């Protein structure tokens, strides 16, 4: 893997993969007739928490922007591995986002992939980004993907605190019985 990608504007850059991920949210919203209101509910946060949360969101926006400058690089091992990671991340995202959008806002989501992960959508984004990093043969993009994952680990605690406030004992029981990411951690 290359430390820094060969930044260039081109037709076959990673923006293609990022557009697929970004448009998926809109397609699911259209397919489920949801208005994405649930996704726009933010937890109460102090100034430190807001900083972490917005750095995390800004990091994702930065990855989206630089994807226009990072070309795909075909390698015999990393490119196919990247396709597998990205496709897996996209499938997890599709199923989790569908469950997220079709569950009534007043109800705790514990069905579908939420039975085995409290945050399958966020985890799937990380998996997808790691796959794109492999397809770009880029340590730089992989580092940003890992940083995104680490910030998400912190930021999601604020959302889980909000869920405890809203769903009380039901969420605490769910949290105690369901891993944050998936079966392994």
| Percent residues over pLDDT 90 in the chain | 62
> Domain 15-30+44-177 adopts which CATH fold?
1.20.120
CB atoms within 10 A of CB 18: 21
Instruction: Please give the model's pTM, rounded to 2 decimal places.
Output: 0.89
The string of pLDDT tens digits covering residues 118-165 is 999 999 999 999 999 999 999 999 999 999 999 988 888 888 999 999
Q: Which residues contact 116 (CB under 8 A, 6 or more apart)?
A: 178, 179, 182, 183
Contacts of 24 (CB under 8 A, 6+ apart): 90, 93, 94, 97
30: confidence class by pLDDT, cuts 50, 70, 90? confident
Handedness of CA 126, 12, 20, 87 (dihedral sign): negative
Report the pLDDT value the prediction gives residue 146, as an integer from 0 to 100: 95
Q: What is the dihedral of CA 88, 163, 166, 27, to 10 degrees?
A: -30
Which sequence spans correspond to the domains of the chain?
A: 15-30+44-177
DSSP code for 105: T
CB 41 within 8 A of CB 94: no
Q: Which residue has the tokens 């997890």?
A: 92
């Amino acid at each position: 893997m290359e430390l820094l990608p060969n930044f260039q504007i081109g037709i076959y850059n990673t923006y293609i993969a990022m557009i697929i991920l970004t448009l998926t949210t809109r397609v699911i919203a259209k397919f489920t007739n949801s208005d994405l209101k649930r996704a726009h509910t933010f937890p109460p946060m102090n100034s430190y928490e807001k900083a972490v949360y917005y750095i995390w969101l800004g990091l994702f926006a930065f990855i989206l922007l630089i994807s226009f400058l990072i070309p795909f690089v075909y390698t015999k091992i990393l490119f196919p591995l990247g396709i597998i990671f990205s496709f897996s991340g996209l499938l997890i995202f599709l199923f989790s986002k569908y469950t997220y959008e079709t569950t009534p806002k007043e109800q705790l989501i514990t069905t579908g992939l939420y039975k085995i992960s409290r945050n399958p959508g966020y985890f799937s984004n990380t998996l997808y980004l790691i796959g794109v990093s492999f397809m770009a043969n880029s340590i730089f993009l992989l580092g940003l993907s890992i940083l995104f994952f680490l910030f998400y680990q912190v930021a999601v605690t604020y959302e889980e605190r909000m869920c405890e406030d809203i769903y009380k004992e039901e969420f605490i029981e769910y949290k105690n019985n369901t891993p944050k990411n998936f079966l392994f951690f």
